[in-house]
Structure 1
Amino acid sequence: MTRVTLTSANPTRQTADALVVAVASSPDGPRVVGADWLPAETVQQVTDLAGVLGITGAADEVRRLPASGKLAAKAVVLTGLGSLEERSTPDVETLRRATGAALRELAGTASVAVALPAEDLEQVTAVVEGALLGAYAYTRYRTGDADAAVAQVAVLTPRARDKAAAKALARAEVLAAAVHGVRDLVNAAPNDLFPAAFADAAKAAVKETGAKVKLTVLDEKALAAGGYGGILGVGQGSSRPPRLVKVAYTPSRPAAKVALVGKGITFDTGGISIKPAAGMDAMKSDMAGAAAVLHTVLAAARLELPVAVTGWLCLAENMPSGTAQRPSDVLTIRGGKTVEVLNTDAEGRLVMADGLVAAVEEKPDLVLDIATLTGAQLVALGPRVSAVMGTDGARTEVVDAAEAAGEAFWPMPLPADLKAGLKSKVADIANIGDRFGGMLTAGLFLQEFVGTTPWAHLDIAGPAYNEKSAFGYTPVGGTGVGVRTMLALIEERATR
């Protein structure tokens, strides 16, 4: 991973391949922000070239200029903040995104100095996180030369020798490693990442932490013995059988006990209710929830948080074959509740039901489940905003944690009237309801398996996988969404 350091050195004397400064848009053209130390000729250069080069200071705009002789850096890189309106300094998420955009565009650069506003601890944290999140490159399958992430970043701040800033940097490194770990899993080809391979990857990741994390893997025989009918039903159509992986971090005298359940469909064809061919390649990302759970648990362990965190990775491959489950099959979920499968493409909720029951059996204080669950989430909120449903307190807790972490989660209701659509003629419940309100109906289905335990459901169907252009610190492909929110929530629980 990219190495980040903090320095209070004079920015003009900072040796680097690129020196990053911020520009904001205004009616009078772009203006440099938080860099009064820049040589006047450099500021004039920005003004003179704005029209010629189309520099506006808009968010996600990154432009490189040759450095003047008064700067030790080889080039000046302008990263856009957008309009600050009446604010003199950007908010922390704007800083995080602007830093990330610059580092993403500078892929392959050996050394970068970042001179964005970093006066207080919040700003330092945002700039460091943005740098680490933006400095990501996935090159596993590239056989030729490929731009790797920036090798070394120096963040310029007067807080460089501050112990709190050093602690923030250390946390940011753990956080970024977790997000990158999720991105790597989501970006992996499905012929390499099937349920057993995912379980092996989890074992390797646990071993790397060196932390006190216990991992348990249930194969198809253990799943059958344990009554995990949802996971088995979804996975029975594949030649590569399902797995349930439990990852448990248990510190001494924990302040709270949190369970995380992640959907891990390593590839989703829709099964017998097969999806259209167009866009099916993105269905390798249908395991993003399980990846987020795995790396959130490991991040909590690395940070030695005084909260017990247990993750449940519900892994299966949803394939059509002679052994696949059929519409109208009835499955028995762990605990005994029966589900009529009316659509095999509503498979995520089936594996999650098993995971939720197993999680609740251990009596946690809170259960979060995270899944690329419904296309209806994408219809309702678009590709950049995730949904959260659940019991009132838990839902609010997730929204607050997301806001603190810089992720977009929007609270959604669980209308009781939609529950009637899940009635089955032959079983306790059907796996789909009416077409309208499909995201909410899926949440109502999951609610049936948590009892009275405080619970929230995070639907990340759109934001988990970016199929369009990169933006801010978000690359094309796997995004790692959800890790920052869940970790922030766990950290908040640790302080109660």
Structure 2
Amino acid sequence: MTTFTTFSDLKTLNIPLILGVTADRDGNLQVPTFPALADFARSAGVTGKAGEAQRSPSPHDFASPYVVFVGLGDLENHSFPAEALRAAAGAGARLAEASELALSFPTSDTTAAVAVAEGALLGGYHFDKYLTKKKPLLKQIMLPAENFPAAESLNRVEILGKAIFDIRDLVNASPSALYPETLAKWMEKAARGLPVKVKIWDWEALKAEGFGGIVAVGRGSKRKPVLVKMTYEPENPRAQVALVGKGITFDSGGYSLKPSNSMATMKSDMTGAATMGNAVIAAAKLGLPVKVTAWLACAENMVSGGATRVDDVIIMKDGTSVEVTNTDAEGRLVLADGIAMAVGEKPDLIVDMATLTGAQIVALGSRMAGVMGSAKDDYFEAAKRSGEMAWPCPLPEHLADDLKSDIADLRNSGTKREGGMPLAGLFLKHFTKGARWAHVDIAGPGFNKGSAWGYTPKGGTGYGLRTLIDLIERL
């Protein structure tokens, strides 16, 4: 557990220091909270450019072993200054690799100070479960006494930070260790001691109750699928939200087999389920006045003599018949069964989240989610407030013609390359039955295949958790 404390004299601290550095449009460098260090930073090669993080020996009159200068860019003219602070603090914490840190940034109010605290906490994460050499755990973050966040704000930072760390740990876990049953058991354990009810449908129950999509995807694996329902219901909730998460713990592609290079990182195909389950846990810890239910549709998509074939026709939970034309378009099948269950409870809002299509990455890159559906703008606004990149995308109805089948109500994939992201959204829209709904495709931002940046590590990112909580808080 990381604690937050204050400091008053930066020079006397004998722990690593992280200092924010700005640079205006003309390139003039400043260390706003310690102007006397501007020349020192400049001589060390620091530019103040946003995204920069540079470690340097401390000035001779500082007790600290070293200083990390982090660039804030032209903070005064930044479109999202809180996110700039959050990202810089995260980059500094990651580079410092220390158990204790002190941060000094130009924070004009407590909102900015909270962003710094949150960024430092998230940036201090590292996944070393399988490493013999461990990095130090970040145990203490020190911030200036001026504008020090209120206890309630820091409690929220800690709760969301814990949820994001848990998502990252789950996503980074070996797929031999994390499979549908163990993911369900993890959620059960996490809910203990909280006002969260957990119900699990096992293989036999899924077959008996007609979850055709989940059964079809998971039947080829020896480790059978599950559906997990998690419910947090406070007294007299003012609204009800349903969260549906894709939980493919490993995706080989099935008989539409992925090439080896594409199969790497497919342990992360359960990111949606990890995020939605932890959103319920976080909502319960925060005591939000909203009923939150998560449906985690979990399966392994594997090849075997019992696996679903291309050309099979399956009957979904809501009775829709689907022709399987691509077994690697499996995520939408499990999600559709989860959405059908969510619709049955008539929530005010449904949000599904999934690492669903490679087309999302082609369209929007690896850091920005695609958001579709009737409630896409609500999610988009929450994402802007939270500093998580997302973009609202249309669902053009003419694309749905490519989901027509000669032998079933729908086919699960199209025949054309273009429009892959909205086509998947249109497939899911069929199962929403007109409910207020947002579909969030996180194929890119859910798992960082590149280098770490800001407070985002390599591997599982925890993307979406903060946006979901912001969205729920405002219902």
When the two structures are superposed, what TM-score results if normalisation uses the length of structure 2?
A: 0.97
Instruction: Kindly indicate whether the alpha-carbon contact (under 8 Å) linking 1:16 and 1:113 is maintained by their aligned counterparts in 2.
Output: no
What does residue range 164-179 of structure 1 map to in structure 2 within 5 Å?
Answer: 165-179=150-164
Indicate the residue corresponding to 1:411 in structure 2: 392
Indicate the residue corresponding to 2:110 in structure 1: 121
1:88 and 1:307 map into 2 onto residues whose CA distance is 33
1:419 and 1:28 map into 2 onto residues whose CA distance is 51
Indicate the residue corresponding to 2:47 in structure 1: 56
Matched residues, number: 474
Deviation of residue 203 (structure 1)? 1.2
Indicate the residue corresponding to 1:156 in structure 2: 144
Indicate the residue corresponding to 1:483 in structure 2: 465
2:145 and 2:252 map into 1 onto residues whose CA distance is 49
Encode CA deviations 1:398-421: one digit per residue, 9 max, x unaligned. Answer: 001000111011000000101111
Q: 2:89 aligns with which of 80, 84, 99?
A: 99
Deviation of residue 60 (structure 1)? 2.6
1:366 and 2:349 matched:
yes
1:413 and 1:157 map into 2 onto residues whose CA distance is 47
What does residue range 57-456 of structure 1 map to in structure 2 within 5 Å?
Answer: 57-84=48-75, 87=77, 91-107=81-97, 109-143=98-132, 145-160=133-148, 165-207=150-192, 210-391=193-374, 394-433=375-414, 434-456=416-438
2:103 and 2:359 map into 1 onto residues whose CA distance is 40
Deviation of residue 27 (structure 1)? 6.5
Indicate the residue corresponding to 1:473 in structure 2: 455
* Aligned residue type for 2:113: V
Deviation of residue 72 (structure 1)? 3.2
Instruction: Kindly indicate whether the alpha-carbon contact (under 8 Å) linking 2:217 and 2:301 is maintained by their aligned counterparts in 1.
Output: yes
* Aligned residue type for 2:10: P
Deviation of residue 68 (structure 1)? 2.6
Instruction: Kindly indicate whether the alpha-carbon contact (under 8 Å) linking 2:198 and 2:230 is maintained by their aligned counterparts in 1.
Output: yes
Ranges in structure 1 where 5+ consecutive residues have no aligned partner: none
Deviation of residue 342 (structure 1)? 0.4
Specify the SS of the correspondent of 2:351.
strand
Instruction: Kindly indicate whether the alpha-carbon contact (under 8 Å) linking 1:33 and 1:89 is maintained by their aligned counterparts in 2.
Output: no
Instruction: Kindly indicate whether the alpha-carbon contact (under 8 Å) linking 2:99 and 2:136 is maintained by their aligned counterparts in 1.
Output: no
Instruction: Kindly indicate whether the alpha-carbon contact (under 8 Å) linking 2:332 and 2:356 is maintained by their aligned counterparts in 1.
Output: yes
Deviation of residue 195 (structure 1)? 0.6
* Aligned residue type for 1:24: T
Instruction: Kindly indicate whether the alpha-carbon contact (under 8 Å) linking 2:448 and 2:458 is maintained by their aligned counterparts in 1.
Output: yes
Change (3 A) 1:120 1:390: same
Deviation of residue 35 (structure 1)? 1.1
2:210 and 2:158 map into 1 onto residues whose CA distance is 40
Point out 4+ residue stretches in structure 1 off by more than 3 angstroms.
Answer: 25-30, 86-90
* Aligned residue type for 1:386: A
Deviation of residue 71 (structure 1)? 2.6
2:185 and 2:166 map into 1 onto residues whose CA distance is 14
% identity of equivalent residues: 47
Instruction: Kindly indicate whether the alpha-carbon contact (under 8 Å) linking 1:272 and 1:320 is maintained by their aligned counterparts in 2.
Output: yes
Ranges in structure 2 where 5+ consecutive residues have no aligned partner: none
1:198 and 1:68 map into 2 onto residues whose CA distance is 49
Instruction: Kindly indicate whether the alpha-carbon contact (under 8 Å) linking 1:407 and 1:481 is maintained by their aligned counterparts in 2.
Output: yes
Indicate the residue corresponding to 2:19 in structure 1: 21
Change (3 A) 1:88 1:429: closer
Instruction: Kindly indicate whether the alpha-carbon contact (under 8 Å) linking 1:21 and 1:32 is maintained by their aligned counterparts in 2.
Output: no
* Aligned residue type for 2:91: A
When the two structures are superposed, what TM-score results if normalisation uses the length of structure 1?
A: 0.93
2:27 and 2:467 map into 1 onto residues whose CA distance is 36
* Aligned residue type for 1:174: I
1:423 and 1:401 map into 2 onto residues whose CA distance is 34
1:46 and 2:35 matched:
no
Indicate the residue corresponding to 1:7 in structure 2: 6
